[in-house]
């Protein structure tokens, strides 16, 4: 009876954890139906097939001809040719990976525009099986394109050159899986919550912007010859992909999807009600800190963790002095400024700007910026202690640290809570309301945090 109720069209997946995902993946036959259906639709579109063939054949061959031409007419195989050959591998893998974003954005919103969404959602499949099938179909196509392009490129470039960078190509292939999975998981979430393809393309900018930074970092690692760091890069991307996949599974609900298909009226009025509810009956500062004690403790842990990392980086010379010393020098110069009122204003303006910028970046960094509010000062403290002593370094943050550190810890904890709200979705929706409530807590807390920063700035300027 429970099994029959779970298979009804209106059944909800609830909070599907790792065990629930394993149960879904353990019964691949049902999710495979959705994946095979989408693969057949993609194979039946001639324009799509031609685009995929062009990405996996034409571009790798053209890039390979350029590399081999440089080797023949540029004086043979040298460091430049070797480095460019690896960069070319990254280039031919990146283009098919970007194509996965288009396929994923079309997964649900395309069904809506083709008027086939209701047919799909009326099947007795579970929500998790539908969602996993959609994600799996896009991943199969995208990874086939990426690895097909990489195989064609390697066969066209490396034979006859006398070398084959196996280690960096393996790490590149692994990082490609992780970044494609992250892009697909994020794009499927966007597709499930957009009403039109145009809206999905606009919302995709929240995926494209961070992924462009990620890809630039990956390209920089390859250019400087630090391919071994791609393993850490792949681990980070795999965590992001797991979070996004968990978000999509937890927030997917067919009733909400059909209601979104019908549309809502008065969006401005609903937004006004959500804002009013977010700021209504918010707790005081002590009660708020107690309610958010777990993220506040996470933020507080950033100070000793950062201090330990800074001391290890300075004592072992893992981080060159030329990287951190300018920051310490500027802090010491500011502390010895001859004009205390101007110095106090500069301290206050700097800290306030950091809190406002962190509030903007909190959703994009999944709350990591809240941890960094205490980690970075702790890192500088530990690094300064490695150059002198702990007593001298701790004396340098007194007495202003007695006020500034609690304020930064509370602000960081509320920012961590914002990040946790971003990655937490529920089948019944309400994501925007929870996010607005988390931001309301942060803005209300600024009534106490901002005066505390002003007091800390005065203490640092006159007594620091």
List C-alpha distances in Å: 459 to 62, 290, 344.
Answer: 64, 27, 8
Torsion of CA 309, 313, 319, 323, to 10 degrees: 70
The answer to whether the peptide bond before residue 379 is cis (omega within 30 degrees of 0) is no
pLDDT at 281: 67
User: Which residue from 334, 343, 326 is spatially nearest to 383, judged by alpha carbons?
Assistant: 326
- Whole-angstrom Cα Rg for the chain: 26
Q: Which residue ranges in the chain fall short of pLDDT 50?
A: 1-28, 262-263
Distance CA 424, CA 295 (A): 14
Residues 92 and 153: beta-carbon distance below 8 Å: yes
pLDDT digit string (tens) for 114-160? 888 778 888 888 888 888 888 888 888 888 888 888 888 888 888 87
403-407 CB contacts, 8 Å cutoff, 24+ apart: 403/452, 403/455, 403/456, 403/459, 404/351, 404/452, 404/453, 404/456, 404/460, 405/303, 405/374, 405/377, 406/452, 407/448, 407/449, 407/452, 407/453, 407/456
pLDDT at 371: 92
Contact residues for 458 (Cβ-Cβ < 8 A; gap 6+): 344
pLDDT at 21: 44
pLDDT at 271: 63
pLDDT at 454: 92
Q: What single DSSP character describes residue 393?
A: H
Burial of 18 (C-beta count, 10 Å sphere; 0-12/13-18/19+): exposed
Whole-structure pTM value: 0.67
Beta strands in 123-174 (DSSP E): none
């Amino acid at each position: 009876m429970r099994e029959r109720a779970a298979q009804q069209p209106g059944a909800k997946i609830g909070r599907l954890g790792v065990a629930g995902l394993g149960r879904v993946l353990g019964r691949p036959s049902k999710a495979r139906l959705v994946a095979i259906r989408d693969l057949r639709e993609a194979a039946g579109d001639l324009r799509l097939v031609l685009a995929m063939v062009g990405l996996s054949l034409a571009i790798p061959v053209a890039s390979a001809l350029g590399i081999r031409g440089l080797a023949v007419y540029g004086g043979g195989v040298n460091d430049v040719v070797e480095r460019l050959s690896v960069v070319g591998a990254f280039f031919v893998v990146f283009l098919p990976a970007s194509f996965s974003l288009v396929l994923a954005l079309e997964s649900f919103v395309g069904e809506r525009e083709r008027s086939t969404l209701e047919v799909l959602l009326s099947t007795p499949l579970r929500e998790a099986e539908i969602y996993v099938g959609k994600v799996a179909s896009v991943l199969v196509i995208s990874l086939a394109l990426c690895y097909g392009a990489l195989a064609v490129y390697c066969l066209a470039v490396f034979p006859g050159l006398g070398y084959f960078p196996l280690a960096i190509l393996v790490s590149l292939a692994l990082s490609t899986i992780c970044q494609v999975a992250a892009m697909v998981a994020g794009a499927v979430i966007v597709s499930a919550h957009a009403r039109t393809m145009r809206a999905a393309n606009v919302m995709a900018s929240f995926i494209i912007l961070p992924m462009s930074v990620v890809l630039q970092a990956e390209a920089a690692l390859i250019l400087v010859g630090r391919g071994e760091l791609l393993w850490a890069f792949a681990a980070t991307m795999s965590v992001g992909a797991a979070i996004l996949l968990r978000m999509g599974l937890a927030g997917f609900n067919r009733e909400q999807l059909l209601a979104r298909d019908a549309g809502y009226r008065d969006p401005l009025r609903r937004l006004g009600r959500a804002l009013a509810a977010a700021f209504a009956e918010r707790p005081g500062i002590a009660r708020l800190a107690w309610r958010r004690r777990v993220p506040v403790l996470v933020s507080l842990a950033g100070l000793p963790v950062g201090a330990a990392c800074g001391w290890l980086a300075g004592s072992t010379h893992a981080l060159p002095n030329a990287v951190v010393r300018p920051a310490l020098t500027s802090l010491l110069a500011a502390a010895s400024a001859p004009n205390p009122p101007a110095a106090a204003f500069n301290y206050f303006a700097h800290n306030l700007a950091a809190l406002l910028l962190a509030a903007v970046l909190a959703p994009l960094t999944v709350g990591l910026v809240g941890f960094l509010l205490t980690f970075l000062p702790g890192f500088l403290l530990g690094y300064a202690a490695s150059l002198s002593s702990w007593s001298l370094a701790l004396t340098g943050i007194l007495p202003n640290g007695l006020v500034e550190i609690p304020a930064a810890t509370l602000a960081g904890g509320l920012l961590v809570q914002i990040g946790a709200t971003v990655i937490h979705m529920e089948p019944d929706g309400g994501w925007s309301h929870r996010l607005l409530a988390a931001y309301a807590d942060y803005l209300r807390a600024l009534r106490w945090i901002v005066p505390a920063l002003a007091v800390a700035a005065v203490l640092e300027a006159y007594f620091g």
